[in-house]
Amino acid sequence: MHEHFRAALESLDVPLLRKMWGHIAPNMPQPESDEVALQTAHYARTISPFPFKLRAYSHAWLMERNLPSGLPDHMRPRAQRLYPITVGSVGIAVKGSTELGRAAAPQIRAVMEDAVHEAYADGHKDQPAIVKGRMMEARKWAIKKLFG
């Protein structure tokens, strides 16, 4: 039974893992969804003696979602070289040419920042044209609201 569970964990077969977990440990808490089961499976792969590439992939998967990883500290640099983490950013700059414009710049920047956060929350993180469009639309709205 344990070799089948290990194979399901290695292949990340979530439905099979959930079914087997119910048989192996019926008195333990069961994952309430496939997503939780997948997170648990990835964590289990980082702490188990699987091939390094599987452990490194699961570590990267967990780090990408800000979830804890059980990969030992001495293995993390090698895992991060194998699966580097990409970090995106958005630059927002607001400069006023008059004293009134300089005073309003922090408010305009805050509105633009909120628009970026909303675009990211709507799932447009990998669509810079949409993020920029929303940010610039928010900028125009803030300027109109502040200056008429």
Does 89 score more than 90 pLDDT?
A: no
Q: Which residues lie closer than 8 Å to 66 by C-beta, 6 or more apart?
A: none
Closest CA to 61 of 21, 12, 17, 16: 12
The whole-model pTM stands at: 0.64
Contact residues for 109 (Cβ-Cβ < 8 A; gap 6+):
92, 93, 94
Q: Provide the percentage of residues in the chain whose pLDDT is more than 70.
A: 99
> Per-domain residue ranges for the chain?
2-82, 99-147
C-alpha pair distances (Å), 97 with each of 41, 116, 143, 146: 55, 24, 14, 15
